[in-house]
Structure 1
Amino acid sequence: MTVTIKDVAKRAGVSPSTVSRVISNHPRISEETSLRVRKVMDEIGYHPNMMAKSLVSRTTSTIAVILPRPADELFQNLFFSEVIRGIVTQSTRSGYDLLMATGTTEREELETVTRLVRGRRVDGILLLYSRANDPVIAMLKEADFPFAIIGRNEDYPDILTIDNDNVQASYDATRHLISQGHERIGFVSGPPNLIVSRDRLAGYTKAVREARLPVRSDWIVEGEFLQESGYRAMSLLMGLPERPTALVVVDDVVTFGILCGLVELGYSVPKDIALVSFNNIVFSELATPPISSIDIGIYQLGYTASQELIRFIQHEHPSHALRHIIPHRLVVRESSLRRS
């Protein structure tokens, strides 16, 4: 015999409409009622027909997570694994599934997101990147579709963003190197079209100029968020007639490439060059030497992004701020300490 929503309601002592609201994670249902109803659902083996629910409510209880290009290199960087862990944890607790998508080109990425939006395949979109002049964001704005960005956006101040204060974080990292007595400080950046790269470069530049130290273009190297980029940066920087004695590096994975390059070239960290990086992934502490890194709260970025997007989808956004800043902290380890 098929168990119905009425059976759940009768046994839990609530109305069928209350059971429906529990299934839909309605914000006005108390936690006590929700727990009681879900316990009854488990006890009598009731499983809601999500397809039928979707047809009636015109919702999917699904969020699309749009991964940055190129996807084949994505999980070489543990930032994305950790941020997705935060997204999955919160969305699961809220009763939402995840759909992950990407594209190999800008056009393919736009077409993918457009299909998801026009087909109403998801209730909201979460972008794991922020680029300048992004056609995907322009399309989502025009469609008035719920979406959020992990990062900062310069083009639209009225969209939901979850980010760190990357300018201040990079300023703090650079000031730490200055406090260790360094006067020739370089910067290894990410792709220039990403807002996070621009912000971290801006923080570095601000700190160096405040200290009346030189900002030299040959000490600033752009690349990708990959180990290979760090390795290539070392070949360029250490071959200069006058090289920097310290570096602010845009990402821990890039720093691993720098360490590999320095070992091959016969240099020692921090004796020959000091390093401060970003993200404080688990391997930063295990590197040789352990890497000083800005902890940006990666898991919390993902968790908060999922939480705020779901609130937006459920029309709670008027009472919430659109810009959410996750605090950062500098974790000082051996790679940046000046040796006497």
Structure 2
Amino acid sequence: MAAARRLTQQDIAKLAGVSQATVSLVLNGAANALARIPAETRERVQKIIRNTGYVPDPIARRMAKGSNRILGVFTYEPAFPNAHADFFLPFLFGIEEEAQARGYDLLLLTGAGEGAQRKIFAEESRLRIADGCIVLGKTFDRTELARLVAGDYPFVAIGRREDAGGSVPFVGGDYATATGALVRQARELGHRRLAYLGSVGPAESPLDRWKGFTAALGADLELVLQLPDTPANDGDLLDALLASGATAAFCVELADAVRLERAAKARGLALPDDLSLVALGSHIRTEGSGTRFASFTIPREEMGRQATAMLVRRVEGGMAQAVEQVLLPCEPIGGETLGPAKAH
């Protein structure tokens, strides 16, 4: 038995004895347009729609309005499942929640490029399936970012981004202020000799942490050890730290804090009695350590929500509106690893 043919607006127009344009106005028209159609005609069309159970084709309606009501999500690193899943998933939760609330679907764009390097513009036609795109990743391709800024395609970055031939719309975390607050907390606990372990740039995220750290040092605090690249061996990393005389170590990567904790315990050192450790921006408990490190929150879900809301404003309001740049506060986490400085 053949499937019943889907009713069209043309079918409704014939049954109502009106033009297809009139049916379209009844279904989609604004109040001022509907006012031009006699009330009797509107009621006749609406009655036939009710009686026939006609449902407009959502794809056709979206195409007519020039919108698919689809938001793209592009990540420069695989979002799941991988070692960074705990990093990306909260962003995706926030994006999904806000998109659903605003009546948009999501499309995950992988942008396969040459080798393992993902590219937004590897297949530009795929990008245009979505009305706009959220871009996230620990590092961005600066050439692609400049192309997005110069183009007419709505996008929003998650994470602060430097200008790329123009201002970049973004929602990020205020890592500089949060890092500075932890330095001041260490000062109040008597620490005067500090170590900084991890990258200081050029990506915006580590650069902001480094700027916040150095701005908070002052004349009474001394940076006695800085290691942009940490030794692969846990013991060598701990040796370098102890040799410097630092009483508190600020780790850009949580993994380095976990390594130091492991090496310290192996030598009978206690945290924070013998050594204080600070992880700059991750309160997720890591496999191999049940310790809650002194740190600050990264409001990942809220960043995802606000980035999605910002993107919808750009999609619906047009590209001529002012570029928004938002930094959300990162609240301190006391943790178990930052205590009074040990006297030497």
- Give me the TM-score of the superposition, normalised by structure 1: 0.73
- The residue number in structure 1 matching 2:65 is 57
CA separation in 2, counterparts of 1:234 and 1:221? 15
CA separation in 2, counterparts of 1:79 and 1:235? 27
Task: Give 1:81's aligned amino acid.
Answer: L
Asked whether the equivalents of residues 112 and 122 of structure 2 are also in contact (C-alpha less than 8 Å), the reply is no
Query: Displacement, 1:233?
Result: 7.7
Cα distance change, pair 91–135 in 1 and its aligned pair in 2 (3 A) = same
Cα distance change, pair 336–20 in 1 and its aligned pair in 2 (3 A) = farther
Asked whether the equivalents of residues 209 and 280 of structure 2 are also in contact (C-alpha less than 8 Å), the reply is no
- The residue number in structure 1 matching 2:16 is none
Task: Give 2:131's aligned amino acid.
Answer: D
Query: Displacement, 1:21?
Result: 8.6
TM-superposition CA deviations, 1:232-290 (whole Å, max 9, x none): 48544312232422122224455344433433454321122212224454538x96442
Gapped regions of structure 1 (runs ≥ 5): 7-14, 23-43, 224-230
Deviates more, 1:92-101 or 1:145-154: 92-101
Task: Give 1:181's aligned amino acid.
Answer: G
- The residue number in structure 1 matching 2:228 is 221
Percent identical across equivalent pairs?
Answer: 22
CA separation in 2, counterparts of 1:233 and 1:320? 49
Deviates more, 1:177-186 or 1:133-142: 133-142
Which structure features the higher share of helix residues? 1
CA separation in 2, counterparts of 1:106 and 1:192? 25
Cα distance change, pair 102–211 in 1 and its aligned pair in 2 (3 A) = farther
Instruction: Compare CA radii of gyration and give the structure with the larger one.
Output: 2
Asked whether the equivalents of residues 83 and 299 of structure 1 are also in contact (C-alpha less than 8 Å), the reply is yes
- The residue number in structure 2 matching 1:276 is 278
Cα distance change, pair 190–51 in 1 and its aligned pair in 2 (3 A) = farther
TM-superposition CA deviations, 1:83-113 (whole Å, max 9, x none): 1111111011112222223468788756443
CA separation in 2, counterparts of 1:299 and 1:248? 25
- The residue number in structure 1 matching 2:172 is 163
Asked whether the equivalents of residues 75 and 81 of structure 1 are also in contact (C-alpha less than 8 Å), the reply is no
For the residue of structure 2 that corresponds to 1:300, the secondary structure is helix
- The residue number in structure 2 matching 1:203 is 212
For the residue of structure 2 that corresponds to 1:170, the secondary structure is helix
Q: How much is the aligned-residue C-alpha RMSD, in angstroms?
A: 3.9
What is the aligned counterpart of 1:145 among 126, 146, 153?
A: 153
CA separation in 2, counterparts of 1:48 and 1:191? 55
- The residue number in structure 1 matching 2:121 is 113
TM-superposition CA deviations, 1:190-216 (whole Å, max 9, x none): 4733210011011112222x1443334
Aligned residues: 304
What is the aligned counterpart of 2:198 among 189, 193, 204?
A: 189
Task: Give 2:178's aligned amino acid.
Answer: A
For the residue of structure 1 that corresponds to 2:244, the secondary structure is coil
- The residue number in structure 2 matching 1:39 is none
Asked whether the equivalents of residues 192 and 220 of structure 2 are also in contact (C-alpha less than 8 Å), the reply is no
Task: Give 2:227's aligned amino acid.
Answer: I
For the residue of structure 1 that corresponds to 2:64, the secondary structure is helix
- Give me the TM-score of the superposition, normalised by structure 2: 0.72
What is the aligned counterpart of 1:78 among 67, 86, 103?
A: 86
Asked whether the equivalents of residues 295 and 330 of structure 1 are also in contact (C-alpha less than 8 Å), the reply is yes
Gapped regions of structure 2 (runs ≥ 5): 13-22, 31-51
Deviates more, 1:83-92 or 1:319-328: 319-328
For the residue of structure 2 that corresponds to 1:338, the secondary structure is coil
Asked whether the equivalents of residues 276 and 293 of structure 1 are also in contact (C-alpha less than 8 Å), the reply is yes
Query: Displacement, 1:189?
Result: 2.6
What is the aligned counterpart of 2:134 among 126, 132, 136?
A: 126
Task: Give 2:244's aligned amino acid.
Answer: E
For the residue of structure 1 that corresponds to 2:278, the secondary structure is strand
What is the aligned counterpart of 2:325 among 320, 323, 335?
A: 323
Query: Displacement, 1:178?
Result: 1.7
What is the aligned counterpart of 2:76 among 65, 68, 74?
A: 68
Query: Displacement, 1:134?
Result: 1.0
CA separation in 1, counterparts of 2:300 and 2:120? 26
- The residue number in structure 1 matching 2:301 is 299
Cα distance change, pair 254–317 in 1 and its aligned pair in 2 (3 A) = farther
For the residue of structure 2 that corresponds to 1:219, the secondary structure is strand
CA separation in 1, counterparts of 2:26 and 2:138? 39
CA separation in 1, counterparts of 2:282 and 2:55? 41
